[in-house]
Amino acid sequence: MVTPELSPAAARWLADGVLVLHVGFVAFVVLGLAAVWIGHGFGWHWVDRPRFRWIHAVAIGFVVAQAWLGASCPLTVLEHALRIRAGEPGLGQGEGFVAGWLSRLLYWDAPAWVFTLAYSFFGLAVVATLKRFPPRRSSR
């Protein structure tokens, strides 16, 4: 099997794309929970849609399970490999203003148990929210 060569510039672009996707995933998980709570206060019916709520629950469930199993995030692993291929030192070392800023937002220096604990508590908050505000089909 022949694998195509990936230029350093292409690898950098792909790494930046994976970083943006990763930040988007985190934003969906964090802001999704906030949207449910705020949305109930403002009467936003879309926050009760089962598809949104279950996709959100599965997303944080994946993160919690991965943390408890000691597995690395696939997006982190992919971005790291692409950064190395681009000739960059690795995660959090992206060249360019936006990549550097997003990396600082996403990657924090703390022991793994801190993240496992934080993800677990966040997952419990999502479960509690599912019980407090259960998903419902729209009445339209």
Chain segment 71-88, per-residue pLDDT in tens: 999 999 999 999 899 888
pLDDT at 126 over 90: yes
For position 106, what pLDDT does the model report? 79
Give the residue with greater pLDDT, 94 vs 6.
6
pLDDT at 22 over 70: yes
Give the residue with greater pLDDT, 139 vs 110.
110
Q: Please, which pLDDT band fits residue 119 given cuts at 50, 70 and 90?
A: very high
Q: Please, which pLDDT band fits residue 91 given cuts at 50, 70 and 90?
A: low
- Here the tokens at position 136 are 């419902």
DSSP string, 72-131: PPHHHHHHHHHHHHTT--STT--SSHHHHHHHHHH-----HHHHHHHHHHHHHHHHHHHH
> Which amino acid would we find at residue 11?
A
Q: What is the mean pLDDT of the chain?
A: 89
For position 109, what pLDDT does the model report? 85
pLDDT at 65 over 90: yes
Cα–Cα distance for residue pair 4/66, rounded to 1 Å? 31
- Here the tokens at position 135 are 């998903």
Q: Please, which pLDDT band fits residue 92 given cuts at 50, 70 and 90?
A: low
How many C-beta neighbours within 10 Å does residue 56 have? 22
- Here the tokens at position 124 are 């419990």
SS3 65: helix
The domains of the chain are located at 8-132
pLDDT at 4 over 80: no
Cα–Cα distance for residue pair 90/84, rounded to 1 Å? 6
